[in-house]
Amino acid sequence: MEQGQTVCCIGSVLWDVIGRRDGDMVAYEDRPGRITRLPGGVALNVAMALQGHGLQPILLSAVGLDVEGRALTEACTEKGLVCDHLIRPDTLPTDHYMAIEVKNEVLAAIADAHTLEAVGSDILTPLRDGTLGSAAAPWTGLVALDGNLTVGLLSEIAHDPCFAEADLRVAPASPGKAQRLLPLLEHPGVTFYVNLTEARLILDAAPATAPEAAKALHAAGATRAVVTDGARRAAFADHSGVISAQPPAVTVTQVTGAGDCFMAAHIAADLRGQSPAAALDAAIAAAASHVSGGSL
């Protein structure tokens, strides 16, 4: 398999159930709005966006054999994603993410990734048994990894010889899971994609801006760090220094998945050989398109 255009996407593959309301809402209220169900999860969102950039994503995750799981894998296959290596437990349900967005901001969300966590390291088998890679012949291509995995499994990946030569791109699933990524700072080729809140949690510090946070993450061990801060300047840092760029002003219509679009566009620009500044601009443009109503 040609690794240069293939990305192993490891992490959550689930159903996103999103309730959206344009007006005000407070706790305990029952208000009218719109509810959608779409294929989602960080790994899957990134995979779908990468496929849109002409790359070939391979999904490494766990999806149940229940009715919802069968529908989800059908949808992924129809989108052109490689589902051959998914773990399909017959005694566990398909995972879900549920969020309420009010006035285009997330009011509350619950991520049920219990099946992914229960399956554990089994999802990595193709990268260990010679199907895609092994300790003797590790995968040297790109890996997109999300923070829905357990701390123990993320630590395994950080030190596993099967991942030692991978171009490892990492994003937390949410601020609440950001600190799970700490062991991955020890990987020799890791790029972090985080927002400013997540960066502060990882660093256990309070950088005031995305450029300050990106610089601090690189100093803490990340080979490269990309930090966003909503409508404020986003930043990229590596051994050559820090660059930043201002997102355009857009009308926000959706927020879930914006970071995944950003990450996928940055990866695609990197693989096309674009400069760090051009790659950051491409990522910002993709996220802006998504929040203003574009699709993955």
pLDDT band at residue 72 using 50, 70 and 90 as cut-offs: very high
| Ranges of each domain in the chain | 3-291
pLDDT digits (tens, 9 = 90+) for 28-70: 889 999 999 999 999 999 999 999 999 999 999 999 999 999 9
Flag whether pLDDT at 123 surpasses 60. Answer: yes
Pick 143 or 4 by higher pLDDT.
143
Q: What is the pTM of this model?
A: 0.92
Residue 296, pLDDT score: 60
**Measured between alpha carbons, how far is 81 from 128 in angstroms, rounded to an integer?**
21
Q: Report which DSSP code applies to 191.
A: E
Flag whether pLDDT at 3 surpasses 80. Answer: no
Four-way CATH pick for 3-291: 3.40.50.300, 3.40.1190.20, 1.10.10.10, 2.40.128.20? 3.40.1190.20
Give the residue from 62, 110, 50, 122 showing the smallest Cα distance to 88.
62
What integer best gives the mean pLDDT of the chain?
94
Contact assessment for residue 205 and residue 181, using Cβ atoms and an 8 Å cutoff: no
Strands, E assignment, the chain: 6-10, 14-21, 34-40, 56-60, 96-102, 105-112, 142-146, 167-171, 190-195, 224-229, 232-238, 241-245
Q: Report which DSSP code applies to 124.
A: G
Identify the burial level of 19 via C-beta atoms within 10 angstroms of its C-beta, where 0-12 means exposed, 13-18 middle and 19 or more buried: middle
Identify the burial level of 35 via C-beta atoms within 10 angstroms of its C-beta, where 0-12 means exposed, 13-18 middle and 19 or more buried: exposed
Q: Which two structure tokens, joined as six digits, stand for 283?
A: 């990522």
Q: Report which DSSP code applies to 164.
A: T
**Measured between alpha carbons, how far is 15 from 99 in angstroms, rounded to an integer?**
11
C-alpha separations of 101 from 26, 109, 144, 253, 265 in Å: 12, 9, 26, 10, 24
User: Which are the contacts of 128, defined by CB distance < 8 A and separation ≥ 6?
Assistant: 134, 135, 160, 162
pLDDT digits (tens, 9 = 90+) for 181-219: 999 999 999 999 999 999 999 999 999 999 999 999 999
**Measured between alpha carbons, how far is 182 from 95 in angstroms, rounded to an integer?**
25
C-alpha separations of 40 from 5, 11, 85, 156, 275 in Å: 22, 11, 18, 25, 30
3-class secondary-structure state, position 147? coil
What is the residue whose two structure tokens read 């914006």? 258
Flag whether pLDDT at 292 surpasses 90. Answer: no
